[in-house]
Structure 1
Amino acid sequence: MESTSDKFRTSLILAESGLNQPKTVLIHHQDRALNTFDRMKSKYPIILKTLTGSLGVGVVKIETEEALSATTQLLYKLDPNMGVLLQDFIVADYDVRAHVVAGKFHGAIKRPIVKKDFRSNVALGSKPEALTLTKLEIDHCVQAAKAVDGLWVGVDFIPAKNREKDSPIFIEINSTPGTKGYKKATKENIAKDVLTTFKNRATWLKTKPFTSIYDKEKR
């Protein structure tokens, strides 16, 4: 959960794991927003996200340089310590939310883009449908979940044009995934399955031992 509570940290972990995702950069200061966009070498529109947030809140589609400057100024006025990132905008009719529980794929839903919006969150009105994933998509979703040490996570991605051969484009990993739309679309009681899974202590995440950078010198 610690890894996925920061969207930029999640992005770095996915990059280290070699997983496909939109170009993503961190805005270090409100005065650096335009320079940060220039470093992306992208075109408008782009997506601006706060580092924390869920249910689609904190995600803004930026159409112009003026909008980028004004939006970042407003966010930093509300909270000078707020973390903000920019991400390439990818045109799509829907995205996918896959649930991974204890390192195993549970199921997935297709989330159509909400009418008169660019987001696909069920909380904003998207009407999800059950979706069968390809083996490649399942393998990469499980890889993404394991990369962030996710016990139960919702892995969000935009499918590639060739879903059988090309990697999906990962958008986010949610450590507190909602179940309402998923249960209705798939008819699966995932909450019950999660409880059953974690009754078994073997599925609990083990604490990683601390290793000092000086350990090698002691040998």
Structure 2
Amino acid sequence: MKKIKLVTLAAALLISVSTFSSVGTVFAASTNNKNQTTKVGKSSIPTKYLNEMLTGLKSRSTTLNIFIEPNNPIGIQQDIKWAVNDWSKSTDKVKFKIVNDRNIANVRFTTGQISQLRVAMTFKDQSTTGNQTYIDRATIKIDPANFDKTKISNGGIRVAEHELGHAMGLADIHDTNLKYSTIMWYLDPNTGITQYDRDAIRYLYQIK
């Protein structure tokens, strides 16, 4: 993903910048002001990084029903399934289920050419209830030209994990201090799902 800057589609308009919300005003958490950390369950995350990782959005459902369009090459299908399994092991309240009916899916993986600058994109249908904006459905498009079409690949897994992060409400990360600390780095992911990613999801969905 060295050439990519992932974007989202909201209200039928393609936008290139996510709207970041202050952690303290959107969600409730215990914050250590002296050390600038936010307690998440038994662990802590620097508050600055947590702010950067959240968009103010979250999935309306804590169960992601994932449909993989059959026209995805077999290698990319394997990448997606591996990524779903990785996320399933990384959070204990957001559930992931691969379904065979696109009509019941709230996350759909599709395929096709995007552009020379992007290898994957996440499009979001959003709605607001009260003060919270929710992701109702997400469509993730992966350009197969950038990945092995016949077998599973590490790069394909990481891109699918990154996009699933967007479907749950995580932001692209541009802070170079986090380049090797999160799956949400906006270029080529340099790592798989990390403790920062797990803490951000745990905090976002108020999993104590």
TM-score after normalising by structure 1: 0.30
Find the structure with the greater CA-based Rg. Answer: 1
TM-score after normalising by structure 2: 0.31
Structure possessing the higher relative contact order (Cα contacts under 8 Å, 6 or more residues apart)? 2
Determine which structure has the larger strand proportion and give its number: 2
